[in-house]
Chain A
Amino acid sequence: MNSFLRLLYRDLKAGLWSTKSMMIVQLVSPLIFIFVAGFGYASLIPPMTAGNRQVSYVLYLAPGVVVMQIMFAASMAGAMLWMDKRLAMFAQIIVGPFSRWQYILSKLVSIMLQGMLNAFIVFAIASPLLVGLKVSFEGICYIAGSLLLGSMFFGSLTLAISVFIKSNEAFNAILNVLFTPLMFLSSVYYPLENAPLIIRAVSLANPLTYAADMLRAGLLQVYVPLLPAEIVALIAESLIAFTVATVAFRRIKL
């Protein structure tokens, strides 16, 4: 078996699969958001204009919640690295037949796979909401691109953060401080068209907005005017984040 695939297997078995409780939480919370918060707010919020069409609030919220779930799942990449550093598994692997580059990539691909699987399960459970929607090949590309690029960006970000963090508590605290504004200053919960200018401006610089808009384009055929620019920005930011994580890896003290 190829050395990268061996590392990936190890990450899935020893890293992700071993944190089954965490994975269940990451699966249940989006469903609560969609079915409880989504339907609760839908009784207050009439169908809204998003991009080029009108959609119910539940439908609008569902893709946003899925990309938010991708963001939280991606934090597992950083958590896995932190654990590997603490238990000297990072050095043990690096001293074996693997490169640092393969190590980072295996972490990212493992969280991408987990994110895709979680998203698939959420969509499957939420399928009654999606009845009547037709997803084209182009739509599938948008959906896959959103999930993969979102995982890559946030996975690389958390990997880079965990390089510099010395305790688990500090790692969790930083993610909480970082993720909360990212969630609310984005198009996850509401369309940006009618948002106050400053919120709109900040949200348009947020990769979570790009991933959410891309997913909505694929699933609901809701196209925001800046979508092409957002896709380019998400690709560029994901590549930059990956490069930053790779460079940061050189600073890990062994």
Chain B
Amino acid sequence: MSEYSIDASELTMRYSSLVAVDHVSFKVLKGEIFGFLGPNGAGKTTTIKILTTLLRPTGGSATVLGYDVVSEGGKIRPRIGVVQQEQSYEYALSVEGNLDVYGLLWDVPKLERKKRIELLLDKFGLRAARKTAPPELSMGQRRRLQVAREFMHDSELMFLDEPTTGLDPQARRVTLDFVREKARNGVTVFFTTHIMEEAEYVCDRIAIIDRGRILALDTVKNVKQKFGGVSVIHVRFADYNDDVCRRLQSLSGVQRIVCPQEKDEPLKLFVKDANALLPEIIEAAATLRLRITELRVEEPSLDDVFIQMINSKGESHDEQLS
């Protein structure tokens, strides 16, 4: 038996002139939470649709749980769970009815269905709405129902396509914790998001995808080290003006600068060697007669790495095109 739940090789999906997924290769280990990160339109959902056998790839190959996604879809589907990005529910049934019918579709015995419904109503904060039909629920409640529904049945591998869209922070945390709990019990999770802090919180490994291509694939820590490799200096001035931004931008060793949009926001400098640059920043402030109220150095967040990576790859892609 393979140690991988998913093994994709040179996976490609082309729609006439658009290449949604471009020779993507990756492997997902059994029992891990694998994050698939990327901006909107990066190819995340298309990849999920291929892996869940809804779409036939135009190139490459992939196996899920050891079965080929093109020729053995019938063996894959009974063993996976899928939360689609689109809202999905039985509009005329109550929350409880939705959970019950979905459990029945997956052949969960009646007593077990009842038990799971009670558990999920509590876990996902839907108890008060148990008799309410989805059209009368808020968007967040409908999303919680959709995610909860997928836990009515057992699956070896779960595909969660931006499952926290529309959820408030508390519901998001509950959902992510539940996903982690499932993973601890041996379920493999393929998780797409464009919210970096979610990936950082829940994923064992991540792949960053943009324009259909994987830009990075590793643990969150390694991606930050390898592809970040930079520190972020936060500087706050008592009387900030745009001159200081221009001045600091010209310093050697500054890879990127984010100037504040509001007066009380810090200026951010992405640099390779923060220690070497700190005296120069202080000197520049003195020259411009500006008082520094805050100066600190931080490791980049995954958000920083992600934006930096997408921007730099985007620029090189545009250069190639021109």
Residues of A within 8 A of B (CB): 1, 3, 6-7, 9-10, 13-15, 18-19, 83, 87-89, 91-99, 254
Contacts and interface: CB of A to CB of B under 8 A. Distances in A.
B282 interface: no
Contacts of B49: 254
13 contacts: A9-B101, A10-B104, A10-B105, A14-B90, A18-B90, A87-B88, A87-B89, A88-B88, A91-B84, A96-B77, A96-B105, A98-B105, A254-B54
Nearest to A90: B88
Given A88-B86, A96-B106, A254-B54, 5 more contacts: A18-B93, A91-B84, A92-B82, A96-B77, A98-B105
B92 interface: yes
Contacts of A98: 77, 105
Interface string B101-118: 100111100000000000
B87 interface: yes
Given A97-B78, A254-B54, A91 B88 contact: yes
Given A6-B105, A87-B87, A254-B55, A99 B74 contact: yes
Contact of A83 (B54, B86, B91, B107): B91
Contacts of B53: 95
A96 to B, nearest CB: 6
The 9 A-B residue pairs with the shortest CB-CB distance in the complex, in nearest-first order: A18-B92, A88-B88, A97-B78, A88-B86, A14-B90, A254-B54, A95-B82, A92-B88, A95-B52
Contacts of A3: 107
Contacts of A10: 101, 104-105
Given A1-B107, A92-B82, A95-B53, A14 B88 contact: no
A13 B86 CA distance: 23
Contacts of B105: 6-7, 10, 93, 96, 98
A97 B102 CA distance: 12
A254 B54 CA distance: 7
B54 A95 contact: yes
A249 B90 CA distance: 21
Contacts of B55: 254
B54 A91 contact: yes
A35 B228 CA distance: 80
Contact of A14 (B54, B78, B101): B101
Interface string B146-177: 00000000000000000000000000000000
Among A1, A83, A91, A98, residue most surrounded by chain B Cβ atoms (within 10 Å): A91
Contacts of A97: 77-78, 106-107
Interface string B74-86: 1001101010101
B74 A87 contact: no
Contacts of B82: 92, 95
A83 B91 CA distance: 9
A254 B86 CA distance: 11
A47 to B, nearest CB: 46
A13 B102 CA distance: 12
A92 B101 contact: no
A254 B91 CA distance: 20
A14 B52 contact: no
A166 B77 CA distance: 27
A89 B77 contact: no
B84 to A, nearest CB: 6
A9 B88 contact: no
B54 A94 contact: yes
B107 A14 contact: no
Nearest to B90: A14
Interface in B228-261: none
Contacts of B87: 87-88
B104 A9 contact: yes
B56 to A, nearest CB: 11
Given A14-B92, A95-B77, A88 B104 contact: no
A18 to B, nearest CB: 3
Interface in B58-82: 74, 77-78, 80, 82
Nearest to A18: B92
Nearest to A14: B90
Contacts of A91: 54, 84, 86, 88
Contacts of A14: 90, 92-93, 97, 101
Given A18-B92, A83-B91, A99-B74, A92 B107 contact: no
Contacts of B54: 91, 94-95, 254
Given A6-B107, A88-B86, A254-B49, A13 B78 contact: no
A146 to B, nearest CB: 30
Contacts of B89: 87, 89
B88 A13 contact: no
